[in-house]
Structure 1
């Protein structure tokens, strides 16, 4: 049963991809949806058995690599952390598959699209169920490949090509860091198996590696390499540039990448390695700083974006910052809780945005929308629920996890734990709440409430989508309202034993309980900042006060943030262009076309013109001549080999008798 959770999406992908031409739209769609829905049902069974009944499973399928002490097998681990991810992945993927049937119905390549969606789901399931680092890396690279295929699904569009290549190349940096982490783990622990690594981690807490006379903590080095991998995949500050551009794919792809699969892989990696990260305070401080900076930077960048999907993409980047920040303060269960909650309201926001784009004939600029509340009332209601959950409105899903992360940051600040990092993270995290509420309701006003700003032709065609698109939206709407309340006591409640040994926190790093006794006024701070962001967005959009703010300084700030703080420009100017110039001017012109050709064929022909003329005459272009020289060369080769063997036998016999 447990292995079927993985094999069903793979089976559906094979049928849709290789037999899509024969099955047609309907056949491939039905098979894909059935396979992923069956996988979802089995995930619920696994969640009940492992999460509620406390039965952990480790299934050994077959040996894979056995070289010396390196032994890797195809084996799958099902613990509380894994089954939680299985439920999140399969539920969101099933709803996205169902939604795609209507959204992509006019696309002639629907079978290929469904195949890519299923292979994406399969590789993510491989990633979360692996019980060793190498098998996890297979899933890690698989989701990168699948994301490239899905972002570049409309491959005739130049923007889609560029965005897919950018996502792949930027993620190669993080993947290189992760591969170095895997090699370091094997060097220190002599194994890549999770059980061995985690059980030996306390014994290696003081183990150091010597580089040029400098001692570096082995666990810190591993943690830094794993964090680099997470930075690339989960789009943390520095390697975040691929995430907003990944919007060039179809909207269901955006929902799957941002809600349940690719971007959550990095956070899952950090949570999975909690038994190792706990022994390195340096890595935990790095997680706190980068997580809070990412939340703040992405929240501010989302304010001045005008593309509907890009605003939601920056909100994903910001929420991932909260998750990494929660890992940095050793509250891995809170990070996992926020990851699960975020999947529901982020999928709801993206699919609702897809409903709007579908109704407006693929228009994505919010400035060309408006007054859609009259034409799409159900979509408006569901997007409002998603925006309120994202902003942390009380008693919705986002409130139970995001506000709790901020309460833990307040505890850090009050107790002077990592005092500088604590203060830094606390204030940046709370400011990010204000920005999140502001851009969420700016989106609502520009899209649904402000004066209409689209063409008459679009207005006459606007209508609510069919049930195939509405059912996933309604299910996600209920999830965005109730999942946080239903899962709070199970995932982060006091005394819960749900996570068991899948998440380890040292007693010295645990101040989780103290958040319950935090000052009530401090607990209300995130809500006050959210209310302020909503109020400011309302005032600006209702009264049009932004017209009076157009002085030079304000316009420059808006332009800077709208251009994503020029991260892409800086990367191009200081990294990409110098590397390309080096490749052309030094590597190609001087080495390949210069030194090698002058030393090789071109120089040889000038130095020995007679022999070069003879050799050039051998190139007759006739197949029989080439076959003759091939056979002649093979005979000479075997003649030399046999001669060497005879000499070897002769000398062996001679040595024996001597």
Structure 2
């Protein structure tokens, strides 16, 4: 009796926080839309920040409750729509680790992008429209992560496409912006077409859009085929291919990636939220949510691995030859999304979710830093007109190096271990896995080069072309981020800092793997000190990866050092 009462109390508290999450999100959107003119930019910002912070706290409590109980909650509010005997729609929510982690990630990125957006565009005429569009977009994405009915997934999918189109078309008076918005709209329709075919098939066969029912019936269709004339294909392979194509368009994979660089016409805060993490991870989320189909679909997994591996190589090669700083970061995002898509093809969903979180945080922060750099150069995004940024932003210089090293995969960083876990899943003896690793090798070579080249070009290249700089006393001092270090940014300090960065990079490249091996080797004294079995299991799991990590870390360290020296040598020739 006491156990049942305790569970009922815990479920009541859990339901309170879960319902409060959606209530606060809807209240936030309605308040921003109807009272934005009365509150103004700062009032809207503080109201939205308070609401989103409360939602993140609620999600943290829900996640803690889920981890402690080890359960997945399905909350069904009953039927909301039905059409005779064709199909019915239920308002169902699924609360699992995937939905909670991705929702908390999106809301944290929204808070960062919103703070940066209000600071970056405070005196623009349409700042209020940017604030409520960012919140509408984030709310739609959170609903997508939690809903567990296919019909509701389609509705929210269309809402996300609508708000992303409005953000890309923010500066609608520019001709190139209209073209970019039109291209984004066309590719979104391709994604909607593929996912609608899957929805139509589910409704035609099961007369329901409840994902719980659909997933339980998927294994029984393992030996069913669809015939179009003399040609036939397995049902699950057919569904897996369609979902892979729909996710590939949203995740900007190979042959569908051309809309993402053009979508950089959106304001930089919108790019930091949408195109760096949120919009492109929708395709990855779609694959992970429908992972039951890919457990039985060989062709679907093959499509994911092929598209992802080619995207890794093509994105890295394209980013290397870009002169526009925002497009360089966009093609870098395309390349990194290829790792995630290819990892889904190898059924490494946990590793994909881990790398997705690491990449989203770092890439959003990189977009914010790029926004500060573009603002410093009075809106110029051409790398050939940049240089000597350290004179006015030594703090941004340091953070730019740290984020770039993490995205590059320097040993002892989170980016290195996230990539290592993904590469570890491709270590098979077949020729297809060898092809995947060969294509990934292009990214391993080129990613350190273009990231270090970006840093050194923007920060230390002596500018010889005509460009108008923003006055740091009038522009950069408005940013709270610069107040502490602007006065210290002299050329002598910058040269000393540069030498320190290179020395630090050289030291970690040579000795980083030995430090990692020492840290991740199970120490007898440490295990005896703790005395818990989980610590022994944890260190045993980590040390089991060391046999592979040693070679990978040494190879990556050599490539990073080689890329840095090559970029330095190339810049020395340019500055003479």
Task: Give the TM-score taking structure 2 as reference length.
Answer: 0.83
Q: Does 1:154 align with 2:171?
A: yes
Q: Does 1:404 align with 2:421?
A: yes
Counterpart Cα distance in 1 of 2:293 and 2:95 = 19
Root-mean-square deviation (Å): 2.5
Match of 1:534 in 2: 564
Match of 2:282 in 1: 265
Q: For residues 458 and 326 of structure 1, do their structure 2 counterparts lie closer, same or farther at Cα, with a shift above 3 Å needed?
A: same
Select the residue among 347, 357, 360 that pairs with 1:343.
Answer: 360
What secondary structure, in the 3-state scheme, does the structure 1 residue paired with 2:208 have? Answer: coil
Contact 1:103 1:469 in 2 (8 A): no
Match of 1:525 in 2: 555
Select the residue among 422, 425, 438 that pairs with 1:427.
Answer: 438
Q: Does 1:249 align with 2:266?
A: yes
Q: For residues 515 and 220 of structure 1, do their structure 2 counterparts lie closer, same or farther at Cα, with a shift above 3 Å needed?
A: farther
Q: Does 1:61 align with 2:81?
A: no
Q: Does 1:13 align with 2:29?
A: yes
**45-54 vs 448-457, which deviates more?**
448-457
User: How far off its partner does 1:516 sit?
Assistant: 6.1
Match of 1:578 in 2: none
Gaps of 5+ in 1: 472-484, 486-492, 497-511, 548-658
Contact 2:392 2:472 in 1 (8 A): no
Structure 2 counterparts to residues 30-429 of structure 1, below 5 A = 30-67=46-83, 68=85, 70-409=87-426, 411-412=427-428, 415-416=429-430, 419=431, 421-429=432-440
Q: For residues 218 and 115 of structure 1, do their structure 2 counterparts lie closer, same or farther at Cα, with a shift above 3 Å needed?
A: same
Gaps of 5+ in 2: 1-16, 484-515, 517-534
Contact 2:376 2:470 in 1 (8 A): no
User: How far off its partner does 1:22 sit?
Assistant: 2.2
Q: For residues 192 and 394 of structure 1, do their structure 2 counterparts lie closer, same or farther at Cα, with a shift above 3 Å needed?
A: same
Match of 1:504 in 2: none
User: How far off its partner does 1:338 sit?
Assistant: 0.9
Contact 2:420 2:549 in 1 (8 A): no
Counterpart Cα distance in 1 of 2:22 and 2:362 = 25
Q: For residues 495 and 171 of structure 1, do their structure 2 counterparts lie closer, same or farther at Cα, with a shift above 3 Å needed?
A: farther
Q: Does 1:2 align with 2:18?
A: yes
Q: For residues 222 and 13 of structure 1, do their structure 2 counterparts lie closer, same or farther at Cα, with a shift above 3 Å needed?
A: same
Deviation digits for residues 303-341 of structure 1 (CA, Å, limit 9, x no counterpart): 111111111111110011000010111111111111111
What secondary structure, in the 3-state scheme, does the structure 1 residue paired with 2:92 have? Answer: strand
User: How far off its partner does 1:495 sit?
Assistant: 8.0
Contact 2:393 2:482 in 1 (8 A): no
User: Quick check: which has more Rg, 1 or 2?
Assistant: 1
Counterpart Cα distance in 1 of 2:313 and 2:264 = 21
Aligned residues: 505
Match of 1:575 in 2: none
User: How far off its partner does 1:373 sit?
Assistant: 1.2
Deviation digits for residues 254-303 of structure 1 (CA, Å, limit 9, x no counterpart): 01113331110000111111121111111111111110000100110001
What secondary structure, in the 3-state scheme, does the structure 2 residue paired with 1:76 have? Answer: strand
User: How far off its partner does 1:225 sit?
Assistant: 0.8
Q: For residues 519 and 344 of structure 1, do their structure 2 counterparts lie closer, same or farther at Cα, with a shift above 3 Å needed?
A: closer
What secondary structure, in the 3-state scheme, does the structure 1 residue paired with 2:396 have? Answer: helix
Select the residue among 434, 455, 462 that pairs with 1:444.
Answer: 455
Q: For residues 514 and 428 of structure 1, do their structure 2 counterparts lie closer, same or farther at Cα, with a shift above 3 Å needed?
A: farther
User: How far off its partner does 1:16 sit?
Assistant: 2.0
Deviation digits for residues 587-613 of structure 1 (CA, Å, limit 9, x no counterpart): xxxxxxxxxxxxxxxxxxxxxxxxxxx
Counterpart Cα distance in 1 of 2:333 and 2:21 = 27
Instruction: Considering Cα pairs closer than 8 Å and 6+ residues apart, tell me whether 1 or 2 has the greater RCO.
Output: 1
Structure 2 counterparts to residues 555-594 of structure 1, below 5 A = none
What secondary structure, in the 3-state scheme, does the structure 1 residue paired with 2:170 have? Answer: coil
Q: For residues 425 and 465 of structure 1, do their structure 2 counterparts lie closer, same or farther at Cα, with a shift above 3 Å needed?
A: farther
Task: Give the TM-score taking structure 1 as reference length.
Answer: 0.73
Q: For residues 246 and 360 of structure 1, do their structure 2 counterparts lie closer, same or farther at Cα, with a shift above 3 Å needed?
A: same
Counterpart Cα distance in 2 of 1:248 and 1:339 = 24
Counterpart Cα distance in 1 of 2:414 and 2:88 = 43
